[in-house]
Amino acid sequence: MPAPDSDAATGSLRIDKWLWYARVTKSRSLAQKLATSGHVRVNRDKISSASKTIRTGDVLTVALDRRVLVLKILALGTRRGPYEEARKLYEDLSPPPPPREAPPPPPPGQREAGAGRPTKRDRRKLDALRGED
């Protein structure tokens, strides 16, 4: 007999359960909070209920704290297994993260934070840079 929250005839599953199976969230209650908070879209439609059913082929957009996931559902899954098993439930269509820029070097004459006090040699170099005698 199929579980009460999945429909074997149509092949659908609750979104909170699928998010937990696919290891998008650490617990099912966090998946429910994510779905009800409005941070999840199914095929570009914003959802407000954790009981929204999803099917294979649907595209989910999940706004997490530091990134946005775009996932195409390939399978519904039957349990929360290891990462390798969970990775087979979806195809990641997320855009790549923007490249990280290196911090700019400190302006001439300034020392890096935490470098300590300048030595006599460092002071002489600073004086020469400033044109002081």
- 59: domain CATH number? 3.10.290.10
Instruction: State how many domains the chain has.
Output: 1
* 36 domain residue, yes or no: yes
**Burial class of 28 by CB neighbour count within 10 A (0 to 12, 13 to 18, 19+):** middle
Query: What is the pLDDT at residue 126?
Result: 84
* Residues 33 and 48 sit within 8 Å (Cβ to Cβ): no
Query: What is the pLDDT at residue 93?
Result: 92
Q: Is the confidence at residue 22, as pLDDT, over 70? A: yes
* 113 domain residue, yes or no: no
* 28 domain residue, yes or no: yes
Q: Is the confidence at residue 117, as pLDDT, over 70? A: yes
* 98 domain residue, yes or no: no
- The pair of structure tokens assigned to 123 is 């002071």
Query: Is the torsion defined by CA of 109, 115, 117, 123 positive or negative?
Result: negative
Helix H or strand E segment including 13:
strand 12-14
Structural domain for 86, as ranges: 6-92
CB atoms within 10 A of CB 51: 13
pTM over 0.95: no
Q: Is the confidence at residue 29, as pLDDT, over 90? A: yes
Average pLDDT over residues 110-126: 82
Residue 41 phi, psi dihedral angles, 5° rounding:
-125, 140
